Amino acid sequence: MTTHHNRRMMNLGAFVHETGQHVAAWRHPDAYAESGTVFAQALDVARTAERGKFDLLFLADSAAISTHGSAESRGRMGKVVKFEPITVLSALAAVTTRLGLVATCTSTYNEPYTLARQFASLDQISGGRAGWNLVTSNNEAEAFNHGRDKHAAHADRYDRAAEFAEVVTGLWDSWDEDAFIRDKESGVYYDTEKLHVLNHQGRHFSVRGPLNVARSPQARPVLVQAGASDTGRDLAARLAELVFTAQTTFEQAREFYGDVVARLPRHGRSRQEMKILPGLYPVVGRTEAEAREKFEFLQSLIHPSVGLAVLEHTIGVANLSQYPLHGPVPDLADTNGPLSRQRLLLEAARRDKLTLWELCLLNAGPRGHLLSIGTPSQIADVMEHWFRNGAADGFNVMPAFLPGSLDDFVDMVIPELQRRGLFRTEYEGKTLRENLGLPKPVSRWARMPMVAE
C-alpha cells in the first residue's frame, strides 16, 4: 500500500502471461497471439500499465515447456514461447519511466551470483525499478533442462531458496551507496573500505563475492515471493517484501494475511516491510450482463484436452484423462509440484461439489486466484472490501487476454478506484520502493556492530 495525504491506498501489479491469463486467451479475436515473439506487443502492454499508474509489471515465467497433456493439447497451447524475462524487462526499462519491473526467476535452477548480477543490472538500468520474484519452480520439466533427472523435493527446494535469497541479498550489499568517488584529479575511483566481501559458506552454496554491480538507487531490488504452504508462508515472513498469493475467498485471504503478518516479528521484521497482494482475475463490462458475456465467450474457447492439460500442470497431477470428465473430482494425494495451489483448487472442488470439467473451467482463467465479474463499481466493491478488512494491501491484476482485458481495467476500474480515493492519480516516487511505500533497506554491513581494536 501507499499513502497519500495520510490516506492508505492500494498497490497494484499487472501480472501478465504472454497472451493473457486465460488458457485460451490467444484464440480471442482481439488478442495478441504473437506475444512472446513480438516486442512491440510487450511494449504496448507495459505502456498501458504505466498509463494506469500500476506500481509494477510482473512477468510470469518458466524455464521449460510443459509436457503435461496429450500431443493434441500441447499443440493447442498459446503460451509456449516467451522472452527471457530479464532481457525483455531491460528493454522495457528504456521506454518506461515509473513502472516497476518484476521478473520471476527460479532459485531451484539458477546460481545466486548470476541472478544477483542480472537483477542489480536491471535495477541500475531502470533507475531503481526492479524486483525479483523468488520461486522454487512448479514445473517439473525444468529439471530436465538443467542436468537433473527429477525435480527436487518440495522441502529441499524451499531450503535451497532460503539460502539462495540470503546469498543474493548479501551480494546486493557489496557496495555502500557512497563507495564511488571517481575523482579524476586524485585518481581515486572508489573507497576500498566501502566494498564488502560476502564470503558465504552454506549447505547449498559457496559464494565469495563481491558483486561487480554498484548499489542501486533503491538500495536493492524488491524481493517478491509467492507461496502459500506453511513453508512458503514462513519464507515470505522471513524474506519477502512483496507477497503474491492465490486465494479464492475473502476468508482464505484474511487468514493468510493475518498468519503471514503474525510471523514477521519472529524474523525481526516490522509490518512496514511487507505488502501482500492477492491475485485478481477481473472481467469488466459496462454492465454486469456484458461482463458475463465476455467471461462466457472466453470459456467457450477452451478445448477439453487443453483444460485437462492445464489443470494437470497447475496441480502437478498427471493422467487426469483417465477419470470421467463430467464425474466428481477424484481424491488426489499431495504431489511434489505446486503443493499450495493443488490444495487450494481441490478444496474448492470439494466445497462446491465440482465435476472434473467444472474444475478445469474454474482453473482456466483465475488458476486459484480471485475471480471478479461485473461492472467497474462491482469489481471495485470487491477490491475495497478485501483491502479495508485485512485481506490485502492491493492486488496483482491478471488480465484475461492482452491487450483488451488490461485496457478494460485501466479505462474502467482504475478511474473508479481513484474516485473512491483508493488508488493514486499520479506516481508518488521514482523507484519501485517509493511507489510501494516500502522502506529502503539498510546494508547488513551498516547494521554490524563495530569491533574495537
- How many angstroms separate the CA atoms of 11 and 256, rounded? 18
pLDDT band per the 50, 70, 90 thresholds, residue 451 = very low
The pLDDT, as a whole number, for residue 450 is 46
Closest residue by Cα to residue 345 from 250, 248, 216: 248
Amino acid at 300: S
- How many angstroms separate the CA atoms of 52 and 432, rounded? 15
The overall average pLDDT reported for the chain is 91
Q: What is the pLDDT of residues 329-345, one digit of tens each?
A: 988 877 666 667 778 78
Percent of the chain topping pLDDT 90: 69
Burial 72-107 (b: 16+ CB within 10 A, else e): ebbebbbbeebbebbebbbebbeebebbbbbbbbbb
Residue 194, burial from CB neighbour count under 10 angstroms (0-12, 13-18, 19+): middle
All three cell numbers of 112, joined, read 545466486
**Predicted confidence (pLDDT) at residue 1 exceeds the cutoff of 70:** no
- How many angstroms separate the CA atoms of 247 and 22, rounded? 17
Amino acid at 330: P
Q: What is the pLDDT of residues 205-259, one digit of tens each?
A: 999 999 999 999 999 999 999 877 888 899 899 999 999 999 989 999 999 999 9
Fold adopted by 2-301+368-443: TIM Barrel (3.20.20)
Burial 161-171 (b: 16+ CB within 10 A, else e): bbbbbbbbbbb
Q: Which DSSP symbol is given to 15?
A: E
Preceding amide of 210 cis, omega within 30:
yes
**Predicted confidence (pLDDT) at residue 430 exceeds the cutoff of 70:** yes
Region 353-373: what's the mean pLDDT?
A: 89
Chain position carrying cell 564488502: 196
The pLDDT, as a whole number, for residue 339 is 67
**Predicted confidence (pLDDT) at residue 102 exceeds the cutoff of 80:** yes
Which helix (H) or strand (E) covers residue 245, if one does? strand 242-245
On whether the CB atoms of residues 190 and 181 are closer than 8 A, the answer is yes
- How many angstroms separate the CA atoms of 392 and 372, rounded? 15
Which one has a higher pLDDT value, 137 or 301? 301
How, if at all, do strands 200-201 and 188-190 pair? unpaired
How, if at all, do strands 222-226 and 130-135 pair? parallel
On whether the CB atoms of residues 13 and 56 are closer than 8 A, the answer is yes
**Predicted confidence (pLDDT) at residue 453 exceeds the cutoff of 50:** no
Helix, coil or strand: residue 201: strand
Which one has a higher pLDDT value, 171 or 74? 171
Q: How far is CA 24 from the centre of its chain?
A: 21
Region 35-61: what's the mean pLDDT?
A: 94
Amino acid at 337: G
Q: Compute the residue count for the chain.
A: 453
pLDDT band per the 50, 70, 90 thresholds, residue 317 = confident
On whether the CB atoms of residues 175 and 196 are closer than 8 A, the answer is yes
Residue 21, burial from CB neighbour count under 10 angstroms (0-12, 13-18, 19+): buried
- How many angstroms separate the CA atoms of 25 and 7, rounded? 37
Chain position carrying cell 470439467: 357
Percent of the chain topping pLDDT 70: 93
What pTM was estimated for this model as a whole? 0.90
The pLDDT, as a whole number, for residue 222 is 98
Upper half-sphere CA count for residue 133 (Cβ side, 13 Å): 26
Please list, in sequence order, all residues whose beta carbon lies within 8 angstroms of the beta carbon of residue 374, skipping any fewer than 6 positions away: 283, 284, 285, 288, 291
Which one has a higher pLDDT value, 453 or 265? 265
Domain spans, the chain? 2-301+368-443
**Predicted confidence (pLDDT) at residue 94 exceeds the cutoff of 60:** yes
Region 107-124: what's the mean pLDDT?
A: 94
The pLDDT, as a whole number, for residue 6 is 63
Q: What is the pLDDT of residues 364-390, one digit of tens each?
A: 888 889 999 999 999 999 999 999 999
Instruction: Enumerate the β-bridge partners of residue 397.
Output: 14, 280
On whether the CB atoms of residues 312 and 359 are closer than 8 A, the answer is no
Helix, coil or strand: residue 200: strand
How far is CA 73 from each of CA 24, 97, 371, 375, 437, rounded to the nearest angstrom? 11, 40, 25, 34, 43
**Predicted confidence (pLDDT) at residue 308 exceeds the cutoff of 80:** yes
On whether the CB atoms of residues 332 and 315 are closer than 8 A, the answer is yes
Region 136-156: what's the mean pLDDT?
A: 71
pLDDT band per the 50, 70, 90 thresholds, residue 195 = very high
- How many angstroms separate the CA atoms of 349 and 354, rounded? 5
